[in-house]
Amino acid sequence: MHRWPLYCHFLWLFFVQTYAELPICKESDYHFEYTECDVLGSRWRVAVPNKANTCTGLPDPVKGTQCTFSCSEGEFLDMRSQQCQKCAAGTYSLGTGVAFDEWDSLPTGFVTHGMNTNGGDVHTNCSNSTWKPMGDYIASNTDECSATLSYAVILKKPGTVSFDYFYPDSNIYFEFYVQNDQCQSTDSDSRWLKVSESDWSQNSVTLNKGNNVLYWRTTAFALLGSAIKPVLLKNIAISGVAYTSECFHCKPGTYSAKPGSARCTPCPADTYSNKVATVCHQCERGKYAEAGSGSCKPKPACTNSDYFYTHTPCDSKGQTQLMYKWIKPKICSENVKGAMKLPASGVMQRCPPCNPGFFVTNAATCEPCSNGFYSNGTACAKCPVGTEPVMGFEYKWWNRMPSNMKSSVFRQEYSDADHTAWEVAGEYIYTTPGDQDSDYMMLSLNVPGYRLPQSMAKDSERSELSRITFVFETMCTADCTLYFMSGNNQWNNDVVEQWSGNSTKQSYSYLIQSNSTVSFTWTFQRTVEYTTERKYSADVAKIYSIHITNVIGGVASQCRHCALTSTKASACVPCPPGHYMVNGTGACKSCPPNTFIRADQPVGEAACVQCGPNTHRNKAHSACLSDCKLDVQSGGGLLLHYDFSGLSNVTVFQSSPRFTSKGLRYLHHFSVGLCGRENRELAECVDNVTDSERKVKGYVCQSTVVPSDIRSQTVVSSQPFVIGDVLLGVTTDTTLSHISSPGQLFPTASSLPDVIFYYRSSETTQACKDGRSTTIRLRCSPTVTAKDHITLPSNCSEGTCDGCSFHFLWQSQHACPLCTKSHYREIVSACIQGIQRTTYVWQQPLHCYGGESLPAQKVSACVTLDFWLKFGVSTGTIAAVLLISISCYFWKKTRKLQYKYSKLMMTSGGNECELPAADSCAIMEGEDAEDDLIYLTKKSFFTKIKSFSRERSSDGFDSVPLKSSSSNLPREEDDSDDA
């Protein structure tokens, strides 16, 4: 029972002996830390061994500084003395904050991951869609996934987070937000960052005391297949932490020369520095280094890709010279074997004329003409009386870069180096060789706005505010692409058109419909493949001329005739509505009935355009409209009346879902404003990817929508464009103005014809040289009550098979002709109790809607069948009695004749061929009375019956008993024989 205490005693002695054998801790064996703050804001400083059970004799805990204690910038907290000390040269400190400016790898504490925002679509793999460290910065993803970068920090007092970002592409959503202890995010209005208007922008957000989780999130919506520029982040700094116990080392390529630095300074070009540098070192001869480099590289041999040519500005003698210049900074060597030398400058040449609207000054420079003047590039002249200058900019001579144009380079691997992207060359402007073939060579043009000429009538139907036209050419050996973009500024624009590969010299024109479209950018990329070598530096894009009209503050290259008026006006006025200007005279002449004036050609009889079938001109004579009503002659000769007012409101519908190669689901969204009078509501499509929302309006428009939970929206809409802004006509014909609507796209078994609306878009593209067109078939379907039952062709699921001609089928009861009397029939009921009902029913199958309503049931008095039966029986009885009476009468007359004939026969003595003498044949007076007496003296009805029923004699005659006169006949005959 005493074994356990003895065992414990020996065990205790063993630990004491072991502990006594450990060495005393040195300063390098431990470090100091603070305990958690208590409720009073106090804490203790304790020594913590770097490795357990390696030494003994740690310093005792001492009371620490207050939790709110902090050091200034360039200082750190020395935990031994608990005093702030300055950082040594070659290091830096933010005082109460932390900074992240090295992105060779993801710093400790940062987490990045990709996720799917497409409603949990299993087809989308986003595991590799993350933020990528790129050395000096970190870059976002460029696919359809959502990439999130997060960092958690605990602040002992309120602080801030600041960072530099480059956000050049509006096809990406970019948001920054902070979540606190309660997982509450920052205000949704301030979390969306604006597209960068310069190379780098800075953002700063206030942080609350306590836990803060910082989120940077990007989502790209690129459906055209073009390369997306990523969002770049650098210089993330967070203040508000309790203390900094150490200084950060300056990274290679930077230095801090003085103690107590708050940040490190980048080394200039052709110098380098190592880590923790206090000074930058010059590169050796034959080597070079870009700004902020940690090492020098050998200079390669110079090639023809290292220089470019340009024309010098005109001198006082009006001469210019072709010059060759090295690309700055020069990174090649002319002394290496095989290196090319800079070509000699050309001979002096006469300067080309100034651009139209400018004149040559005495100093051989070009200056714009004054208001009211015009020029062809040599001298200014005042516009003649009765004319006005046509304002704009026309650049066709490139001796120097125009003041409203700028050249710049955007590199996927961002660099602060300033390179020339486009250079003037006399007759054209071209792209210079870049540092890398994947660089974006950008040329931007900015204008203040637009104003229509005074002689041009203003009206709501006119869509053209200005027009930009340029002539270009590309010569490539790789997969080069030239982009033309428009928008609010150089960094906030949308791709209008793009050309890949070689493009012969050609012209392109773009219609400007909004005063907010004031920036235009041409971007040339030699290849999308990233490489540090210059394989395709000879690939080039050239722009020969740029012409933009109706620009505020522009210059004039010609003058336009004003309309002749009876009053002496100081300014030009347009011709009255419905009139065109006769060429060269200024006289206004009326257009034929139901025509409108062509907006881009108000001069000459060709300016009058006849309205299409079943349309009428508007009041301003600038467009043709449909009032949604139509009369059509059917095949059977019946006139059908249509009223589509029930379909005139703006209607939206979508195509079937489609998927990108990444698995992102998207749809084509269409908006239709079928018809209507002036000041009607137009169809509208938007681009809501960024906070600078862009809209297009017309009869029919299209945009691409992506279901998403980004920005608390159900869908993201992008790439809007108009596919119909001019109504050409409304007819049942399948072809109108060279636009066809094939019937096989939407087969039907109905004999009722489809009514087709024809539209055209005035905006042209590379693929659609004549612009886009749209046909909408309206088909009568009395059972379809919905007003948005619009379908697309089965063989063209996007509504178009060629990208230029769009076709839709709209089925609705409102597409049926108005009902008339011919569309129903009447049913008359039987007469019941003196009441007869007349009911009206529709003819089946029914092919009408609205119009004349079905008449109500009619009730009328009538005579019943019993009455007519009684009347018929009575009438029949009377008729039968009458018929019998007549029959008896004629029978009686016949008997008399038979009797007389019988009497004559007896008188003739039986000789059939002999007749009695005339005196014997005469009817004696009183003979009829005697005959009548025979029948009247009959005793009774039965006696008559008996006489009627006697047998006939052998000669076929009835034997008739005669009176006494007859009985004496044999005696007379005997007497005659005796005689």
Mean pLDDT of 95-102: 82
pLDDT at 714: 63
| In the predicted structure, residue 724 carries a pLDDT above the cut 90 | yes
> Which helix or strand (DSSP H or E) is residue 906 part of?
helix 865-907
| In the predicted structure, residue 813 carries a pLDDT above the cut 90 | yes
pLDDT-derived band at 865 (thresholds 50, 70, 90) equals: low
Task: To the nearest 10°, report the CA torsion of 908, 909, 913, 914.
Answer: -40
The candidate with the shortest Cα–Cα distance to 584, out of 561, 607, 556, is 561
> 152-161, 217-226, 522-531, 540-549 — which one is most confidently predicted on average?
540-549
CB 339 within 8 Å of CB 299: no
Mean pLDDT of 442-465: 77
Task: To the nearest 10°, report the CA torsion of 138, 142, 144, 146.
Answer: 10
pLDDT at 344: 87
pLDDT at 756: 96
The candidate with the shortest Cα–Cα distance to 133, out of 203, 234, 275, is 234
pLDDT at 913: 54
Coil vs helix vs strand at 913: coil
151-203 pLDDT, tens digit per residue, is 988 887 788 899 999 887 777 888 888 887 656 566 555 677 777 655 678 88
| In the predicted structure, residue 14 carries a pLDDT above the cut 60 | no
pLDDT at 230: 86
Sheet of 824-828, strand order: 824-828, 835-842, 858-861
pLDDT-derived band at 117 (thresholds 50, 70, 90) equals: low
Percent of all residues in the chain with a pLDDT value above 70, rounded to a whole number:
81
Identify the residue with better confidence: 149 or 767: 149
Mean pLDDT of 839-868: 83
pLDDT at 384: 86
Identify the residue with better confidence: 409 or 637: 409
Mean pLDDT of the chain: 81
Q: Which residues of 468-500 are buried (b: 16+ CB within 10 A; e: fewer)?
A: bebbbbbebebebbbbbbbbbbbbbbbbbebbe
| Rounded Cα distance, 231 and 176, in Å | 12
Mean pLDDT of 51-59: 85
71-90 pLDDT, tens digit per residue, is 888 888 888 888 888 999 99
Q: What is the DSSP letter of 948?
A: H
Q: What tokens were used for 819? A: 């009902």
Identify the residue with better confidence: 4 or 97: 97
Q: What is the DSSP letter of 131?
A: -
pLDDT at 757: 97
| Rounded Cα distance, 447 and 518, in Å | 5
Tell me the residue type at 628.
C
Tell me the residue type at 115.
M
| Rounded Cα distance, 501 and 480, in Å | 5
| In the predicted structure, residue 205 carries a pLDDT above the cut 80 | yes
pLDDT at 894: 85
| Rounded Cα distance, 93 and 99, in Å | 8
Pairing of strands 265-266, 271-272: unpaired
Q: What is the DSSP letter of 749?
A: -
Mean pLDDT of 826-835: 84
> 124-133, 380-389, 807-816 — which one is most confidently predicted on average?
807-816
Mean pLDDT of 268-282: 93
The candidate with the shortest Cα–Cα distance to 826, out of 862, 856, 782, is 856
732-769 pLDDT, tens digit per residue, is 999 999 999 998 999 988 888 999 999 999 888 878 88
Coil vs helix vs strand at 336: coil
**CA angle 949-950-955, nearest 5°?**
125
Secondary structure percentages of the chain, helix, strand, coil, to 5? 10, 35, 50
118-141 pLDDT, tens digit per residue, is 554 445 677 788 999 988 889 998
| Rounded Cα distance, 480 and 529, in Å | 10
Identify the residue with better confidence: 129 or 626: 626
Identify the residue with better confidence: 588 or 959: 588
| Rounded Cα distance, 429 and 524, in Å | 13
Beta bridge mates, 61: none
pLDDT-derived band at 395 (thresholds 50, 70, 90) equals: very high
Mean pLDDT of 909-913: 56
The candidate with the shortest Cα–Cα distance to 740, out of 764, 758, 753, 752, is 758
| Rounded Cα distance, 399 and 878, in Å | 124
Is the alpha carbon torsion for 132, 137, 143, 145 positive or negative?
positive
| In the predicted structure, residue 307 carries a pLDDT above the cut 50 | yes
Mean pLDDT of 521-532: 82
pLDDT at 582: 82
Q: pTM surpassing 0.75?
A: no
925-968 pLDDT, tens digit per residue, is 445 444 444 444 444 544 554 454 444 444 444 444 544 444 44
The candidate with the shortest Cα–Cα distance to 488, out of 528, 520, 523, 440, is 520
